[in-house]
Amino acid sequence: MMHGNEPTGFEALLRLIRCGRPQCDWTLIPLVNPSGIDAFTRLTSEGIDLNRRARDHGPLESDLLKSVLASGSFKLALNLHDQRSLFCPNGQAIPSSLSVLAPRCINQDQESFSEPAQAWAGTISGLMRDLEPNWGYARFDDAYYTTAFGEWTQELGIPTVTVETGVTLEDYSRERVSLRLGEVLRTIDAIRSPPFEGITHYLNLPLNASWGVDLELRSGNQISHWQVWEEVQSQSHSSGIAKAIPQGNAAPIPYQTINLLKREFDEIQAKDSWTSLELYAVSSTDLGSFAEALPK
Ligand SMILES: [Zn+2]
């Protein structure tokens, strides 16, 4: 949890810990951003994105992480994050449940890609696909972020994979994704080194696109698009849908479409956002079951 509102990797690490004696030596750092976790926010309480501070002196959180990474001889680093549901494998109408990235590394003025990182990234994605063939799998484009940790650890000589878990249409709480990621980590522990085909698998993954919308509502020729949101404030948690704001020029790709009577469509359309409870209270069977499936 380098970003305090991205807990799926943390849950997966707990599953790895509970599975008993591992074959490899692991250094697990489940919590990097405690103040962000308390507030369920991406940034620290000082407003800092820790994943953009790999090359700076300070803050304390990233200094501690760097001291751990620089002190060992690691064969693989995994940076576990969550991604929002708007990400989908390019051309597919399902959310990306797992996206991977072998961050770009630039050494001695010569650009190169780290093949071990690509082989691991493709292997991790392939292992998850073996378990859940119907989920969405993608890779991030490897734009170079100088200040991100993935690029920094790659350049330290540690093959690094950034893992971004997402939702599935049956499970917006990501419980099942964390379960599967825990199983994948256990398998990695057993295989120890990635098969070379991992590189091909990685390069053949579709790119992560950001044009997905969770819900399309239709009535006659009227259409509106909605995005699922989640909020945690101190002890309370709520979820719901908000009108989707179009991203760039690409047409939105809806994951689910529901046809409504005009009266119901107009009622939903009259507000910019709905909590899942409000939506459940006013809506008919199909929309009500969508609302019921949202995280509570
Ligand atoms: Zn993140």
Residue 107 shares a structural domain with residue 88: yes
Q: What is the pLDDT of residues 59-90, one digit of tens each?
A: 999 999 999 998 888 999 999 999 999 999 99
The answer to whether 194 and 235 have CB atoms below 8 angstroms apart is: no
Residues 278 and 145 in one domain: no
Give the chain's domain count.
2
Q: Per-residue pLDDT averaged across 242-264, rounded?
A: 89
- CA dihedral sign of residues 76, 78, 79, 83: positive
* Same-domain check for residues 42 and 179: yes
Let me know whether 223 and 195 are in one domain.
no
Q: Are residues 158 and 221 in the same domain?
A: no
* 17 & 112 share domain: yes
Structural domain contains residue 2: no
Q: ω into residue 159 within 30 of 0, thus cis?
A: no
Q: How far is the CA of 271 from the centre of ligand 1 (A)?
A: 30
Find the 131 Cα to ligand 1 centroid distance in Å: 24
The verdict on residue 169 lying in a domain is yes
- Considering the domain boundaries, does residue 71 fall inside one? yes
pLDDT, tens digit, 9 for 90 and up, residues 159-214:
999 999 999 998 999 999 999 999 999 999 999 888 889 999 999 999 999 999 99
- Are 229 and 163 part of one and the same domain? no
Which of 189, 181, 191, 194 has its CA nearest to residue 137? Answer: 181
Burial class (CB in 10 A: 0-12, 13-18, 19+), 142: middle
Using the 3D structure, point to which of 174, 209, 244 is the last residue of a domain.
Answer: 209
Q: Is the per-residue pLDDT at 109 higher than 50?
A: no
Cβ–Cβ < 8 Å for 45, 39: yes
Give the full edge-to-edge strand order of the sheet including 236-243: 253-259, 212-219, 222-233, 236-243, 273-275
Ligand 1 centroid to residue 81 C-alpha, Å: 4
* 251 Cα–ligand 1 center, Å: 26
104 and 50, same domain (yes or no)? yes
Interval between CA 6 and ligand 1 midpoint (Å): 6
Q: What torsion, rounded to 10 degrees, do the Cα atoms 149, 151, 153, 158 define?
A: 140
3 within some domain: no
Query: Is 86 inside a domain boundary?
Result: yes
CA distances from 132 to 19, 98, 180 (A): 20, 11, 8
Whether residue 170 sits in one domain with residue 258: no
CA 163 to ligand 1 center in whole angstroms: 9
CATH of the domain at 164: 3.40.630.10
